[in-house]
């Protein structure tokens, strides 16, 4: 019997990877074992009307309500709720100092508009000098984003797009976040990081972080002055934005590998601070996942690969900007293709049990070899069992995960 | 040090004293000592002893020792084993080559209707000055410029070298370097030279050793840096350098400290760039565009490379410091009277970039945020090593010796592979020459290049570059033996990004 796969994305990286494993491509109506689907297909499969029931031998690449983490407004809501709950419990992780969370302050202050408008104004008044960034909740690739540095500008914008602040007519909600105006610059340019995280289960949480990733650079020197506020080539790192800039280079696509970023940081800033930065990044990924853990439908047929967008500020503190549930698998450069090919290969290696056949009854504990270039971030099942032998076997990474000081 | 002993220590010390006294930092040094003499730490009764003690405590003694060390390192002359051999033909070949390049520069100028050197217009100067930090936005069209020469052109020149002492009867004289009368090390000698590698000692850069070993190396490294004594730092590098200490360790070994004099000098080079428009500027800009700007490992450093390379191109000290003085022209600024102040040595540094020259500096960008520090480390590296890789010379560390070493090692240890290349009449050196000439920069990932260059500094030798090239070929032997065309051979060796330098070298040198 051969493993069958199905995909509605025309991505060679998916198909070649599956075929390399000897899997046979079938249509959505046929018996498939693995479905690499777009979020819409996934949504309709899981909807009640479809009446589709998956068998134990079927797995799919999205959780039914992944938008709890991938929608900008919902992510913020979930993280806020998560913090409040931990605080209520009196958990040390939610410890506060100077009215800020000491360990959970990893997203820029954010409000959902129009709902939280009054709260935003209150926060705005505390430091009227700061710049804020407006992003439409449901869009991606940098579209519809703009910066504001005056309340009047926001008011003007709301007048121009009147319906926005009349919730009954609202077509599009926005999030407004404090803009990280002191980003870490390399060669004078701003960048963000794209990291990949694979989740194979939310309850218990099982998550893996891909060792490779890249930094996306702006093509234009960073300039926080007001005059450049509307120049999106300075502020937005999205490839889809930068591509249209005159300076875009299609050979490297403005992408530097995370390993090379690390080399540069360790060489110029030191080992300790660099390690702390990368530890903090793993920390924020884990807690962003824990924040949505109670609300995500942890269907055992599902796994999902998230693209994490992170900005590092000039104090080497990482900030979570957003989480993408269907990170681009399109390759802009040769190295990109190698990376994405490896990503898919390593994902399949983790989600398929040693037997080689997808099986939802499997305990989803891959061997260390099967993890390849993924590193275990957290596996609550292993932690719960606290078997020292297994913890050794699966690497020490997670055992230090609850070290918050 | 052998050669120093020949003429006797007194002679050498006199030479060192003379040259240190001429050094621009000498005045500052004397002032320091004078201050010390007038302090209470030094007494008249026991003058010598107390002064020495005070100098030691103040770190002046260490500073002096470092100066001597750097002097010896950069004035090393190698003893040739066969004094009968006339090595002047190398020199003649370089003079010829220089002439050819200069001719080609001149003809490029007349083709493009430009001059080698002219004063910048004030408008241009302002624009350049304003965009100094982001020169990638400086509007200049270099699309018509071509690199003056590429590694393969230079290899052609080297393969045509003929020693007057040795008649070549080979039917295929341009295939190898075996006929050149230079002695190179064999494997036992290399093993002796690279003792730490051949003894299989723990070296950073091999994955088998955990964080504990790294922590130990960092601890020792910090002590080495605190001592600030260059020879110790050099010794330290032999067992690998942690990333976070590399920049300081390299600066120390190379004597690339920065003080007032250095930063003023750099500033003067910058000003020279702002005032004079040299044809060589466009060549180096072109080279950066062709290499670093298009490289996903170095594009972020594009702007800093422009600054550093433009300054480097007009650094007259380089011309003075290179022992086999490069050729240069005397050029009169365009539209000026032919007076001495309107005459310029061209190129001022004597350096004419080949395609890929920027790669000598690019990996160092990973180590420094400050262009000034980057500049001096790059310059010191160039003066000590890299200039030998793109000039014809018979030096033990020169490119010809490196090529010959590569050939001898390959022939001796993989005769089958050597024979295979003979059969298909492809010269193995042709395949690896670009690696050798660029010291692997741009071919290996940055961290691997830096580890390789650690070893260059540690053992004060470029031989490791030839050795690595041989090992990579041997490593890919099975694939190489299956292909018979140059294109296929090149594609077997095209991607060496997965190579781990230290373990490979260790494997080859292990007894």
Contact B296 A271 (CB under 8 A): no
Joined together, the tokens standing for residue A48 give 């009640």
B123 domain-assigned: yes
Classify domain A189-400 by CATH architecture. Answer: 2-Layer Sandwich (3.30)
Residue B167: partners with Cβ closer than 8 Å, 6 or more residues away: none
The segment with the largest mean pLDDT, out of A224-238, B79-93, B309-323, is: B309-323
* Residue A112, Ramachandran bin (φ over 0: left; ψ between -120 and 50: alpha; else beta): beta
Joined together, the tokens standing for residue B120 give 């910048």
Confidence of residue B77 (pLDDT cuts 50, 70, 90): low
Cβ atoms of A377 and A207 closer than 8 Å? yes
* Among B218, B242, B299, beta carbon nearest to A249: B299
Confidence of residue B7 (pLDDT cuts 50, 70, 90): low
Task: Give the residue-averaged pLDDT of B306-312.
Answer: 97
What is the per-residue pLDDT for B96?
A: 92
Q: Given the structure tokens 């091999």, which residue do they identify?
A: B206
**Phi, psi for B472 (deg, rounded to 5):** -60, -40
Measure B276 CA to nearest chain A CA, in Å.
26
- What are the chain A neighbours of B250 within 8 Å (beta carbons)? none
Cβ atoms of B99 and B87 closer than 8 Å? no
The angle formed by the CA atoms of residues B388, B389 and B391, to the nearest 5 degrees, is 65
Residue B201, CB half-sphere, CA atoms under 13 Å: how many? 14
B194 domain-assigned: no
Specify the 3-state DSSP secondary structure of A100.
strand
Boundary-marking domain end, from B74, B104, B135: B74
Confidence of residue A76 (pLDDT cuts 50, 70, 90): very high
Specify the 3-state DSSP secondary structure of B146.
coil
Give the B-side interface with A, CB within 8 Å: 133-134, 136-137, 218, 242-244, 246-247, 293-297, 299-304, 366-369, 445-447, 450
From residue B488, alpha-carbon distances to B28, B431, B483, B491 in Å are 59, 11, 6, 5
Residue A18 has pLDDT above 80, yes or no: yes
Confidence of residue B114 (pLDDT cuts 50, 70, 90): very high
* Among A253, A264, A271, beta carbon nearest to B366: A264
Confidence of residue A242 (pLDDT cuts 50, 70, 90): confident
- What are the chain B neighbours of A339 within 8 Å (beta carbons)? none
Cβ atoms of B499 and B202 closer than 8 Å? no
Residue of B nearest to A214 (CA): B296
Residue B306 has pLDDT above 80, yes or no: yes
Cβ atoms of B366 and B450 closer than 8 Å? yes
Q: Classify domain A109-179 by CATH number.
A: 3.30.1490
B446 domain-assigned: no
What is the per-residue pLDDT for A376?
A: 96
Name the packing angle between helices B26-38 and B47-58 (round to 10°).
Answer: 120
Least trusted range by pLDDT, from A25-34, A142-151, A196-205, A218-227: A218-227
A21 reaches B (C-beta below 8 A):
no
Boundary-marking domain end, from B74, B102, B122: B74
Report the relative pairing of strands B276-278 and B117-119 from DSSP bridges: antiparallel
The burial class, CB within 10 Å (0-12 / 13-18 / 19+), for B84 is exposed
Contact B366 A259 (CB under 8 A): no
What is the per-residue pLDDT for A226?
A: 74
What is the per-residue pLDDT for B273?
A: 96
Least trusted range by pLDDT, from A159-163, A166-170, B333-337: A166-170
Residue A360 has pLDDT above 90, yes or no: yes
- What are the chain A neighbours of B446 within 8 Å (beta carbons)? 260, 263
Residue B462: partners with Cβ closer than 8 Å, 6 or more residues away: B385, B388, B389, B397, B402, B439, B456
A155 reaches B (C-beta below 8 A):
no
Residue of B nearest to A266 (CA): B244
DSSP state of B327: P
* Among A252, A263, A271, beta carbon nearest to B299: A252
- What are the chain A neighbours of B299 within 8 Å (beta carbons)? 217, 249, 252, 254, 256
| Structural domain containing residue B95 | 88-149+259-363
Query: Are B278 and B354 in the same domain?
Result: yes
From residue A321, alpha-carbon distances to A26, A193, A259, A356 in Å are 37, 10, 21, 36
Query: Given CA atoms B488, B408, B181, B151 in this order, what sign does their dihedral have?
Result: positive
Query: Are B98 and B13 in the same domain?
Result: no
Boundary-marking domain end, from B49, B74, B99: B74
Task: Give the residue-averaged pLDDT of B68-96.
Answer: 74
The segment with the largest mean pLDDT, out of A186-190, A251-255, B193-197, is: B193-197
Query: Are B145 and B268 in the same domain?
Result: yes
Whole-angstrom Cα distance, residue A257 to residue A196? 13
Of A368, A369, A370, the residue nearest A397 (C-alpha) = A368
Whole-angstrom Cα distance, residue A185 to residue A188? 5
- What are the chain A neighbours of B297 within 8 Å (beta carbons)? 256-257, 260
Query: Are B67 and B118 in the same domain?
Result: no
ipTM for this prediction: 0.91
B62 domain-assigned: yes
Contact A249 B295 (CB under 8 A): no
Contact B247 A188 (CB under 8 A): no
A153 reaches B (C-beta below 8 A):
no
B29 domain-assigned: yes
Least trusted range by pLDDT, from A170-179, A275-284, B150-159: A170-179
Chain A to chain B, count of Cβ pairs less than 8 Å apart?
Answer: 71
Residue A238 has pLDDT above 80, yes or no: no
Residue B296 has pLDDT above 60, yes or no: yes
Query: Are B66 and B122 in the same domain?
Result: no
End-to-end CA distance of chain B: 28
Residue A170 has pLDDT above 70, yes or no: no
Name the packing angle between helices A271-292 and A258-269 (round to 10°).
Answer: 130
* Total domains present in chain B: 2
* Among A189, A247, A271, beta carbon nearest to B300: A189
Confidence of residue A249 (pLDDT cuts 50, 70, 90): confident
pLDDT in tens, A294-347: 999 999 999 999 999 999 999 999 999 999 999 999 988 888 999 999 999 999
Residue B165 has pLDDT above 80, yes or no: no
- What are the chain A neighbours of B243 within 8 Å (beta carbons)? 263, 266-267, 271
B18 domain-assigned: yes
pLDDT in tens, B13-38: 888 888 888 887 788 888 888 888 88
Residue B381 has pLDDT above 60, yes or no: yes
The burial class, CB within 10 Å (0-12 / 13-18 / 19+), for B43 is exposed
- What are the chain B neighbours of A267 within 8 Å (beta carbons)? 243-244, 246-247, 366-367
Measure A243 CA to nearest chain B CA, in Å.
15
pLDDT in tens, B453-500: 999 999 999 999 999 999 999 999 999 999 999 999 999 999 999 999
Domain boundaries, chain A: 4-64, 109-179, 189-400
Whole-angstrom Cα distance, residue B135 to residue B483? 44
Helices of type H across B276-329: 279-290, 302-313, 316-321
Contact A188 B303 (CB under 8 A): yes
Q: What is the mean pLDDT of chain A?
A: 89
Confidence of residue B209 (pLDDT cuts 50, 70, 90): low
- Window 297-336 of A, Cβ < 8 Å to B: 333, 335
What single string gives the DSSP state of each residue in A336-401? HHHHHHHHHHHHHHHHS-TTSS--TTS-----HHHHTTEEEEEEHHHHHHT-HHHHHHT-SGGGGT
pLDDT in tens, A78-122: 999 999 999 999 999 999 988 889 999 999 999 998 888 899 999
Query: Are B59 and B101 in the same domain?
Result: no
Of A119, A83, A123, A127, the residue nearest A101 (C-alpha) = A83
- Window 250-269 of A, Cβ < 8 Å to B: 251-257, 259-260, 263-264, 266-268
A217 reaches B (C-beta below 8 A):
yes
Residue A293 has pLDDT above 70, yes or no: yes
The burial class, CB within 10 Å (0-12 / 13-18 / 19+), for B167 is exposed
């Amino acid at each position: 019997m051969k493993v069958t796969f199905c995909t509605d994305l025309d991505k060679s990286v998916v198909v070649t990877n599956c075929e390399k494993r000897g899997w046979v491509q079938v249509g959505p109506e046929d018996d498939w074992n693995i479905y690499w689907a777009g979020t819409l297909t996934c949504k309709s499969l899981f909807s009640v009307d479809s009446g589709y029931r998956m068998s134990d031998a079927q797995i799919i690449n999205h959780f039914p309500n992944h938008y709890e983490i991938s929608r900008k407004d919902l992510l913020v809501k979930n993280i806020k709720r998560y913090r409040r709950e931990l605080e209520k419990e009196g958990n040390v992780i939610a410890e506060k100092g100077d009215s800020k969370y000491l360990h959970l302050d990893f997203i820029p202050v954010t409000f959902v508009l129009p709902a939280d408008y009054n709260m935003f104004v209150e926060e705005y008044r505390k430091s009227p000098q700061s710049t804020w960034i407006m992003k439409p909740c449901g869009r991606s690739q940098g579209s519809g984003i703009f910066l504001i540095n005056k309340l009047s500008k926001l008011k003007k914008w709301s007048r121009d797009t009147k319906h926005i602040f009349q919730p009954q007519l609202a077509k599009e909600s926005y999030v407004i976040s404090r803009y990280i105006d002191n980003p870490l610059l390399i060669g004078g340019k701003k960048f963000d990081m794209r990291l990949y995280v694979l989740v194979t289960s939310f309850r218990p949480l099982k998550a893996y972080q891909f060792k490779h990733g890249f930094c996306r650079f702006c093509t234009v020197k960073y300039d926080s002055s007001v005059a450049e506020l509307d120049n999106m080539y300075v502020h937005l790192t999205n490839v889809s934005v930068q591509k249209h800039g005159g300076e875009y280079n299609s050979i490297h696509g403005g992408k530097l590998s995370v390993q090379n970023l690390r080399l540069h940081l360790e060489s110029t800033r030191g080992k300790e601070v660099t390690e702390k930065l990368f530890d903090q990044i793993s920390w924020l990924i884990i807690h962003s996942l824990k924040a949505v853990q109670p609300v995500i439908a942890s269907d055992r047929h599902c796994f999902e690969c998230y693209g994490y967008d992170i900005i590092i500020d000039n104090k080497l503190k990482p900030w979570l900007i957003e989480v993408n549930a269907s990170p681009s698998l399109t390759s802009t450069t040769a190295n990109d293709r190698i990376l994405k090919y490896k990503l898919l290969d390593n994902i399949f290696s983790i989600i398929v049990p040693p037997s080689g056949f997808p099986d939802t009854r499997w305990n989803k504990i891959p061997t260390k070899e099967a993890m390849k270039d993924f590193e275990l971030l957290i596996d609550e099942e292993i932690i719960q069992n606290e078997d020292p032998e297994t913890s050794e076997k699966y690497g020490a990474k997670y055992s230090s995960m609850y070290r918050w000081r | 040090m052998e050669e120093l002993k020949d003429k006797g220590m007194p002679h050498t010390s006199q030479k060192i004293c003379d040259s240190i006294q001429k050094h621009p930092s000498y005045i500052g040094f004397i002032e320091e000592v004078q201050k010390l003499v007038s302090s209470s730490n030094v007494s008249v009764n026991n003058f010598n002893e107390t002064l020495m003690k005070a100098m030691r405590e103040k770190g002046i003694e260490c500073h002096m020792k470092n100066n001597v060390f750097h002097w010896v390192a950069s004035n090393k002359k190698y003893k040739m084993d066969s004094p009968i051999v006339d090595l002047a033909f190398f020199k003649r070949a370089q003079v010829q080559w220089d002439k050819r390049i200069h001719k080609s520069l001149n003809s490029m100028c007349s083709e493009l209707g430009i001059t080698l050197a002219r004063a910048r217009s004030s408008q241009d100067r302002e624009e350049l000055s304003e965009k100094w930090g982001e020169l990638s936005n400086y509007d200049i069209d270099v699309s018509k410029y071509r690199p003056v020469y590429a590694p393969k052109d230079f290899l052609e020149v080297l393969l045509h070298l003929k020693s007057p002492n040795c008649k070549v009867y080979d039917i295929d004289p341009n295939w190898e370097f075996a006929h050149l009368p230079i002695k190179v090390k064999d494997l036992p000698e290399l093993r002796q030279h690279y003792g730490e590698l051949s003894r299989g000692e723990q070296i950073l850069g091999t994955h088998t050793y955990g964080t504990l070993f790294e922590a130990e190396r960092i601890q020792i490294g910090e002590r080495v840096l605190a001592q600030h004594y260059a020879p110790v730092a050099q010794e330290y590098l032999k067992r690998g350098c942690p990333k976070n200490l590399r920049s300081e360790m390299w600066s120390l070994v190379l004597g690339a400290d920065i003080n007032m004099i250095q930063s003023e000098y750099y500033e003067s080079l910058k000003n020279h760039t702002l005032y004079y428009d040299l044809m060589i500027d466009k060549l180096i800009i072109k080279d950066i565009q062709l290499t670093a700007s298009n490289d996903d490992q170095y594009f972020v450093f594009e702007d800093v490379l422009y600054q550093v390379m433009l300054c480097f191109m007009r650094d007259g000290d380089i011309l003075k410091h290179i022992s086999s003085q490069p050729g240069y022209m005397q050029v009169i600024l365009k539209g000026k009277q032919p007076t001495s102040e309107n005459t310029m040595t061209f190129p001022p540094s004597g350096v004419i970039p080949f395609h890929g020259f920027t790669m000598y500096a690019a990996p160092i960008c990973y180590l420094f945020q400050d262009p000034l520090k980057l500049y001096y480390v790059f310059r010191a590296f160039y003066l000590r090593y890299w200039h030998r890789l793109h000039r014809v010379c018979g030096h033990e560390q020169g490119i010809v010796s490196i090529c010959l070493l590569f050939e001898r090692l390959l022939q001796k240890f993989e005769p089958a592979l050597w024979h295979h290349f003979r059969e298909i009449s492809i010269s193995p050196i042709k395949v690896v020459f670009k690696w050798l000439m660029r010291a692997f920069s741009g071919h290996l990932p940055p961290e691997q290049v830096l580890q390789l260059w650690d070893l260059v500094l540690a053992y004060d030798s470029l031989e490791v570059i030839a050795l690595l090239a041989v090992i990579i070929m041997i490593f890919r032997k099975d694939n190489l033996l299956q292909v018979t065309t140059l294109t296929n051979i090149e594609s077997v060796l095209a991607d060496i990004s997965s190579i781990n330098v230290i373990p490979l070298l260790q494997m080859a040198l292990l007894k």
